[in-house]
Structure 1
C-alpha cells in the first residue's frame, strides 16, 4: 500500500508544534508494518543546511494557479528510511518561520496544488493521500474537482487528520475562487463557506473519505459547541467517518537511556534520575535538595495551556514545599508572570523564557512532576514524554490528556498520574497539593512508577489503527 503524507512541518526539518513530531515519527512506524509511506512538505528557508544540501531535484514544472504561471520544483531526500519530497518556490517559502504571513492563503494554496500536480512528476501514485491540518486541507477538494475522474488517479482515497481544530485557514472566498479555479457551487454553507469566507480545514473535512483526529476524547469533544470551533454541527453530521487515534512518541528519539542531552542515563532507576535533578537544580540556581519535588512546565505560554489557572493561585502554589522549572515562550503576560515568580521566589522558581530542545530533555529527566492544566488539548505529547522520562503528569481531563493519563487511586493502587476534571484553579491546586503529598509517600510513589513502566506510548498500536483505516477506505 502506498501512502503520501502531506503536511506543513516535520521533525527534523522544521517544527513549530506537535504536528512536526507526528510527521517525523508515524511514517517510520507505518513503514515498519510494510507500507510504502512518503512525505511531502514545503521547502522552507529554515530547513538546516545539512538537509537542504543533501536534497536532489526530482522535477521542475510550471504550475497553473488561477491566472498565474508559477515555477514549482520537487526535491527529494531520504531520511531514516523514509522518502521526503520538498515543494520548492522561493517566493512563497524562502522566508523565516512557517506561518503568520499575510499571503498564507496563497502560499498554502500553492502547496496544495503542488502536491496534486507533483503526482505526475515523482513516479509515485499513492493509494492514500493523508492530509494534516488546514495547510493541506484543500488537497481533497482539488482531488475531487480535478483528478478523481482521471483513470490514473481514480483509485486514490484521501484522509484528513485534525491536529488542532482551532486553526482553520479561513480566508476570503474570492481568493479561493482565484487560486483553485472552483465554481460557485463550492462556496455554499454545505461546502467551503465559513464565517462569510471559505476554509481550508472545512474543505478537508467535507471532501476527504475519512476524518481522524489525535485522540478518542478529542474526537468526541469537537462534536460539542464548547470545543467544536463552530464546526461541531458539521462534525456531528460526519461522525460516522470520524475516528480518534491517540498520538504516540518515537521511543528511539525520546529515550533517557541514550538521550545525548542528559548527564546521567537511566531507565527505571530513581536514584539516577535524582542525579539529573541535582545537577539541574545547581545549574538553574534552584536550592539543591533531593527531597523536594521538582514540578515542570515545558509548554507554549498561551491561554490554551491553562496558565490563567496558575496565575489565579500563584501565592498558594508558591506556599507549597516544591520547586518549579518553566521552559517556553508565548504571550507577554505569562512570560512576565513567570519572570516575576522567579524574582520573588529565588531558589524556588526557574523561569526559562526561551525554547531549547536540549534543556527541555534535561527538565523531563530532572522533574518529579509535570504539569499540563490545559483548557483543551487535542492529544498533547508532553505528558507522554514525561512518563517516558519517569516524570509523573498532573493534567486536566481533556482530549488526549484524559486518554493517556489515569488518575492515581489510593484505594486500588491503579493510575499513572494526577488529574482534575473542571477548568478551575482550586481544583488544580488541590490536585497539585495531593501530588506533592504522595511524592513523599514512598510506597505510593513506587506504585505510580510501576504503573507508568507498564504503559506503552510508542507509535506501534496507533500505526496499526491508521493502517486498518487505510485498508477500510480502499475496500
Structure 2
C-alpha cells in the first residue's frame, strides 16, 4: 500500500476551499487513488477560517525570519467521508484569507506580496509536519502550482529538511501564467527575509526576465522529480515561446519545460470529469433559478453598489419568461483576461454574436465575477442588449441549470491548460464552441463533438470566431439533424478520472497499478443457488 501527500492552496473536498479548477482536481484524484487501496493525505492552508471545526493534532515548530515560528496542524472533516483519505489544514495568524474566494490576495501594486508570505509559512509548516511524521512514511508528495513549490526549495537547500529528498515529489502545473515571482532580498516578502540563514544559488532559482527575483513556478519545474501539465496539448503549447495575444505558451519558462521534457520529467495528462453523483437541476427552471438568486443578492450589503444592475437583470429575465428563448448560448467562468480577452479587446465582436442570436430568438447567458474592468464591460453590454443576461454573481443552482439547458456552450479562452466547463457541458449532451488551444484541443473536435475556431493572428481569430458562431446558428436552423448528431456525440464523450489516474501511477508516480479486486464467482453462484 502506498502513502500519498497532496499539498495545495485549494481543496474542494472540504467546504469553502475552492477558487478554481485546481480544487476539483485535488478533490477527485485522491478518491481514485483511494480506490486502489492506497492512502492519501491532503493538506491546505486554513486561511484563518477552515480550522474552526477541526481537531488539532500537532503543534509545528520551525525556523523562519531568524526566529521560531509555531503553526497548528488540524485534521478536518471532508464533505464526504471516504476510506483512505484524510484532510488537514494548517493554521497560523499570518496565513490570511484573501479577497479572491477568501483564498488568494489581489495585489495589483506588488504582485504576490501577501500570497507569498502565507505560502512561505504554509510550505515550511508542511515540511516540518512531514519531518515529524505527521502523515506517516510517505511514498509520494504531489505539489500543485507555485503556491507549494517552496517545498522543493526547502528540500534542495534547507539543512533541516534534507530527509524530503528521499520522497518522490511531483509537481502539477495548473496555470503557467501565474508564477509567484518575488525578490530575492530587500523586501519583506522576499526569500532572504524569510530564509536569512539558508545558502542557496540565485542563478538556479531566478526568473529570466527579472534577475533579482525568484520564480516559484520555475522552482517547481526545475526541481521536481516529475512535472505534470493538465492536458497533452497544453504540454506541447508551453514548450513554445508566447507571442501574445496570438499565442500563449511557455511564458518565459519554455526552455525549462523543454529541458524537463528531454530529461523525461515532463508529462501531459488530461484532467478527468466527474460522471457520478451529479447535481442535476430541474429542467426548465433556468430563468426561475436566476430570479431566485438575484433577490437574495439584492439584500446583501456587499452588492449594494450593483443593486440597480441586479434589478435590471431581473426585469429582463421576466420578459424572457413571457417569451422563452429558442436557443441558449452560455458561459460560466471567472471574468479574467484568460477567459474573455477577445470580448474586452473587441466588444463589437460580442455585439455581432448577440445580433446573430436575434435571428433565432436566442439569448446569451454569462455567469461570473472577477476583474472589475470585465464586470463593468459586461454590465454595460447588458444594459444595451436585451438578449444578453449577465449574471454577475455565483450560484450553484444557476450554474447547474446553465449546464443542463444550454444549446451551445461558448469558451473563447485565450489559453486553457485543460478546462472543465466544456466537459461539464458535454456531459449533459451540449456541444461547445471553443478556441482551439490547450486542453480544448484534446476534448472538443470540430464538427464531430462540437465546434472550434483558430487563426494565425488576432484579426483572423476574431473573424473565424464570428464565422464559426454564425455557422453554428445556421446549422441549428437549417440542418437540425446534424446539429443533434453532434450534440449526441458530445454527450457520449467520457474523460474519466480513472483513465487519468492510471496514467498518474505509471507516468508521474512511477508506481505499478494496484491489482483489481476479483470476486470469487463460485461463492456468488453458491449463494444464489
Assess same fold via TM > 0.5: yes
Say if 2:472 is the partner of 1:472. no
Identify the match of residue 486 of structure 2 among 437, 448, 460: 448
**Deviation per residue, 1:134-158 (Å, 9 max, x gap):** 00011122123347986x6553111
Which residue is 1:163 aligned to?
A: 174
Identify the match of residue 421 of structure 2 among 357, 369, 382: 382
Q: 8 Å contact 1:301–1:307 — kept in the other structure?
A: no
1:38 is displaced (CA, Å) by 1.4
Which residue is 1:412 aligned to?
A: none
Say if 2:252 is the partner of 1:216. no
3-state SS in 2 of match to 1:15: coil
Which residue is 2:9 aligned to?
A: 8
Q: 8 Å contact 1:45–1:95 — kept in the other structure?
A: no
Q: 8 Å contact 1:133–1:201 — kept in the other structure?
A: yes
Say if 2:193 is the partner of 1:178. yes
Kindly report which structure 2 residues correspond to 1:9-408, keeping only aligned pairs within 5 A, or say none.
Answer: 9-11=10-12, 12-47=15-50, 52-79=51-78, 80=80, 81=82, 82-93=85-96, 97-100=102-105, 102-119=113-130, 120-146=132-158, 153=164, 155-174=166-185, 175-180=190-195, 183=198, 185-188=200-203, 190-194=204-208, 195-196=210-211, 197-226=213-242, 227-239=249-261, 240-253=264-277, 255=278, 258-259=279-280, 262-264=281-283, 275-276=284-285, 284-285=317-318, 287-288=320-321, 292-309=326-343, 311-320=347-356, 321=359, 322-346=362-386, 348-408=387-447
1:191 is displaced (CA, Å) by 3.2
Instruction: Describe the shift of the 1:35–1:469 C-alpha distance in structure 2 as closer, same or farther (beyond 3 A).
Output: farther
| Structure 2 residue runs without a partner (length 5+) | 108-112, 243-248, 292-313, 514-529
Instruction: Describe the shift of the 1:366–1:166 C-alpha distance in structure 2 as closer, same or farther (beyond 3 A).
Output: same
3-state SS in 2 of match to 1:103: helix
| Root-mean-square deviation (Å) | 2.5
Say if 2:468 is the partner of 1:431. yes
| Structure 1 residue runs without a partner (length 5+) | 265-274, 409-414
Instruction: Describe the shift of the 1:164–1:182 C-alpha distance in structure 2 as closer, same or farther (beyond 3 A).
Output: farther
Q: 8 Å contact 1:128–1:470 — kept in the other structure?
A: no
Q: 8 Å contact 1:148–1:154 — kept in the other structure?
A: no
Instruction: Describe the shift of the 1:402–1:158 C-alpha distance in structure 2 as closer, same or farther (beyond 3 A).
Output: same
Distance in 2 (alpha carbons) for counterparts of 1:32 and 1:217? 28
3-state SS in 2 of match to 1:251: coil
Which residue is 2:522 aligned to?
A: none
Distance in 2 (alpha carbons) for counterparts of 1:182 and 1:213? 34
1:287 is displaced (CA, Å) by 2.8
TM-score, normalised via structure 2 length: 0.79
| Runs of 4+ that moved beyond 4 A | 147-150, 181-185, 276-283, 288-291
Q: 8 Å contact 1:141–1:208 — kept in the other structure?
A: no
Distance in 1 (alpha carbons) for counterparts of 2:72 and 2:443? 41
Instruction: Describe the shift of the 1:335–1:193 C-alpha distance in structure 2 as closer, same or farther (beyond 3 A).
Output: closer
1:474 is displaced (CA, Å) by 9.4
Aligned residue pairs: how many? 447
Distance in 2 (alpha carbons) for counterparts of 1:368 and 1:404? 18
Question: Which is further off, 424-433 or 127-136?
Answer: 424-433
Q: 8 Å contact 1:285–1:350 — kept in the other structure?
A: no
TM-score, normalised via structure 1 length: 0.87
Instruction: Describe the shift of the 1:185–1:14 C-alpha distance in structure 2 as closer, same or farther (beyond 3 A).
Output: closer
Instruction: Describe the shift of the 1:149–1:74 C-alpha distance in structure 2 as closer, same or farther (beyond 3 A).
Output: closer
Which residue is 1:268 aligned to?
A: none
Instruction: Describe the shift of the 1:318–1:94 C-alpha distance in structure 2 as closer, same or farther (beyond 3 A).
Output: closer
Identify the match of residue 418 of structure 1 among 451, 471, 481: 451
